[in-house]
């Protein structure tokens, strides 16, 4: 199953319109810095939280570099959820000069 990908530039545009973003990194990684507004659902808990990926339109999924988020996307897409992987992940977001939030402010 092919999973769509989006760049961090395209993600920024989508987030400005109210799109959902889920971060599947571990808690310590998320707390150190995440895209503002991201909801935290660690990869290991994705099977128990598939419904949180559902909604109107696509849900964007991010991790550190794009590998774990791709695995999460593959899992939830097999359950009929419209998901898009963020290519390059949080590293690409930071390298693009965008800011991150710290702490558990957007934790689920």
63 counts as catalytic: yes
Catalytic-labelled residue, pool 62, 63, 70, 76: 63
SS (H, E, C) the chain: CCCEEECHHHHHHHHHCCCEEEECCCHHHHHHCECCCCEECCHHHHHHCHHHHCCCCCEEEECCCCHHHHHHHHHHHCCCCCEEEECCHHHHHHHCCCCCECCCCCEC
User: How many Å apart are CA 8 and CA 38, to the nearest integer?
Assistant: 13
Q: Which residues are catalytic?
A: 63
């Amino acid at each position: 199953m092919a999973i769509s990908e989006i760049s961090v530039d395209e993600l920024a545009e989508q987030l400005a319109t109210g799109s959902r973003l889920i971060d599947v990194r571990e808690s310590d990684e998320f707390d150190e810095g995440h895209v503002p507004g991201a909801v935290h659902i660690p990869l290991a808990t994705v099977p128990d939280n598939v419904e949180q990926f559902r909604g109107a339109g696509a849900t964007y999924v991010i991790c550190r570099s794009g590998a774990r988020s791709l695995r999460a996307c593959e899992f939830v897409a097999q359950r009929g959820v419209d998901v898009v992987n963020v290519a390059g992940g949080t590293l690409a977001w930071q390298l693009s000069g965008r800011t991150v939030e710290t702490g558990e402010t957007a934790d689920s």
